[in-house]
Each structure stands twice: as C-alpha cells, then as structure tokens.
Amino acid sequence: MAAQTHPPYRRIADEIARRIADGTLAPGDRVPSTRRIAREWGVALATATKALTALRLEGLVEARPRVGTVVAARDRAASTEHRAPTTRRTPSTALPDRDLSRERIVRAAVDLADAEGLAAVSMRSVAARLGVAAMSPYRHVTSKDDLVLLMADAAFGEETYPAPPPEGWRARLELGARTLWTIYRRHPWLAQVGSLTRPLMLPSLMVHAEWALSALDGHGLAPETMLDLHVLFYSYIQGIAVHLEREAQAEAATGLSEDQWMDRQALAFQTITASTRYPVFTRLTSSFADGYELDLDALFAFGLTPLLDGIALLIADLPSGRAPS
C-alpha cells in the first residue's frame, strides 16, 4: 500500500530500477524512452522524463548521443547504491540557480530531443533533466518556442566551412548539402523546426545559406533565380531529413520497426500487385529478389547528383539569369 503513495514518476523509476537490478536490463541496454514510458504507463511525457531523470541522477542510467538512454556501467551504478538516501538528488530537488545558464539549458534540451524526440522537450522536462525547479529555466529562456529556436541555432552552428572554399560552385554546393545532411542526421528533430514559407531567422542557419548563395553568385543568375535555387536546394535536403524523425515517431507510436511495419503490409501489397491497374509498379517491384529497401542516406546521395546537374544546365544555358520565354 505504501508504494501507491509514491508519485507516478517514482513508481516508474522504481520499476525500471528493479529490471536493472534483476538483470532484465543489462549495462548498455536501452531503457524505455519517454515516448514508450508515456504510452505503456499512461502518463504525460513530462512525467516520463522525470522518471528517467531520477534514474540518471541515481547513476542507474546515462544518456548517450544518437543512442538514447541506456543502463549505466555496474561500477557507476554500484557507487551510487551505497550513498546515504539523503545524498540522492531527485528531480524535485533544485540545484542552485547560479549553476544554470542559457547554454546549459539549451544543451540539455538538445540532448533530450536527440534521445527522445522534439515532442519530449518542454520547459518542465528540461528542468527535470537538469534536476532544477520547474520554473528555473524561465529565468534564462522565456518560452518553449524560444528554447526550440535556440536549440536549432545551436545545432546549425555545430558545423562550419573551410577557408578558402573548394574550387567551383558545384563542389561548394555539394559540401554545403553534405554538411547540412550531417547536422540533420545528428539531430533528426531539427528538420521538423520551421518551414519554407516561414524561414528561420537564425544566425547559424544563415551561415549555411550564405555558403550556398555565394556558390551561385557570379554566374549571371538573376537575384530571384538565385533565391529560388537556394530554396529548392535547401528544401531537397530538409525534405528527406524530415523523415528521420517521422520514422522514429511512427515506431514509437506503433511499437513496430520499419521492417515489422512493412511485413504487416504484405496482404495489402499483394492485393495491389495482383491487380492489373498498376502494371509498371508491379513489374518494378517484382524485379527485386529481396524487395526494395529505402535508405534515406542513399536516397540523399543519389538525388544530389541530378539536382546539381540541373543547376549546371541552368547556369550554362542561362548565363544572364533570364528565364526562357
């Protein structure tokens, strides 16, 4: 009966701790994500984040970039087990505000989004991750919307370009594309932030824009054409990258991996290919011995070549930048 008086996050943390103690979750194993905890325990994402933060502060789990939250090594976990209970810091025990800074808040939010997705980020969940009072981050960041912009600016600022640049506009654009893809790959949530019609006015993002526009400059293209090409170039990269996070969201929502989901579509796929309405699709898909595998990295690399080829034709055929009549 006493256990039922514990708050929901503590009950969840205790259950995961039990799995770690009995070996169900071994060192290095991924623990349930905030999305999975929210779904399985029927709690809010903030509560799920608070549970993982409690385990992290107790040394039982640790966050690993691009992996998620995993069970900590035995020596680290053991070192915390022998502490007096009063020395354990729970998410409700605030650190001094002097230990907080905007940079620390943004870094914690980026780490949280990398591990759990952008939907897991809130001012409260970031405070829980840092082990501070729920309202403390507001002393440095006014709102979640402002926090997301700061996160995006920090992420785009992680990569820079060489000076002097490589020779030729094509080499410069290709480097710009691969640099942005690297950033989106590192932070899958980033492609969800902003839209083409409402571009982000971020200094770090403008570095990438300036790089691409400088590559297009000086070839006789009209200003409108240059901006159109830049928007198309950027939207190509972002348009593929947006599916990195969407796949993670779909897996969290359904509990199925991409392969498992495709296996469940077998009957619908057979119905389509058995029909005579889609002969080209049927012929193409039947030509694959092991099926067609959609790899976003490979798709990005493949599509970049014809995109640059098209820009090359435009530069060669329209040196003045005037569109054909």
DSSP string, 24-81: SS-TTPBPPPHHHHHHHHT--HHHHHHHHHHHHHTTSEEEETTTEEEEPPHHHHHHHH
Name the band, by pLDDT with cuts 50, 70 and 90, for residue 262. Answer: confident
Tokens in use for 166?
Answer: 């490589």
Average pLDDT for residues 114-130, to the nearest whole number?
A: 88
Which of helix, strand or coil describes residue 324?
Answer: coil
Average pLDDT for residues 4-8, to the nearest whole number?
A: 70
Would you state the pLDDT for residue 226?
Answer: 94
Average pLDDT for residues 164-188, to the nearest whole number?
A: 95
Of the chain, the end-to-end C-alpha distance in Å amounts to 80
Average pLDDT for residues 143-162, to the nearest whole number?
A: 95
296 alpha carbon, distance to own chain's centre? 14
Q: Amino acid identity of 30?
A: R
Would you state the pLDDT for residue 96?
Answer: 56
* Long-range Cβ contact pairs of 230-236 (< 8 A, separation 24 or more): 231/196, 232/307, 233/173, 233/176, 233/177, 233/307, 233/311, 234/180, 234/196, 234/209, 235/196, 236/177, 236/303, 236/304, 236/307
Would you state the pLDDT for residue 87?
Answer: 34
26 alpha carbon, distance to own chain's centre? 26
Choose the weakest-confidence range: 76-80, 118-122, 212-216.
Answer: 76-80
Percent of the chain with pLDDT over 70: 86
Entry field: residues in the chain: 325
Cβ-based neighbours of 226, under 8 Å, separated by 6 or more: 213, 216, 217, 321
Asked whether the beta carbons of 91 and 47 are under 8 A apart, the reply is no
Residue 3 or 13, more confident? 13
Closest CA to 39 of 252, 257, 256: 252
Cβ-based neighbours of 274, under 8 Å, separated by 6 or more: none
DSSP state for residue 121 in the 8-state scheme = -
Sign of CA dihedral 249, 189, 306, 295: negative
Name the band, by pLDDT with cuts 50, 70 and 90, for residue 5. Answer: low
Name the band, by pLDDT with cuts 50, 70 and 90, for residue 259. Answer: confident
Residue 28 or 234, more confident? 234
- State the Cα–Cα distance between residues 249 and 76, nearest whole angstrom: 31
- State the Cα–Cα distance between residues 250 and 239, nearest whole angstrom: 17
Q: Quick one: angle between helices 45-57 and 123-130, nearest 10? A: 10
Q: Quick one: angle between helices 169-186 and 296-317, nearest 10? A: 150
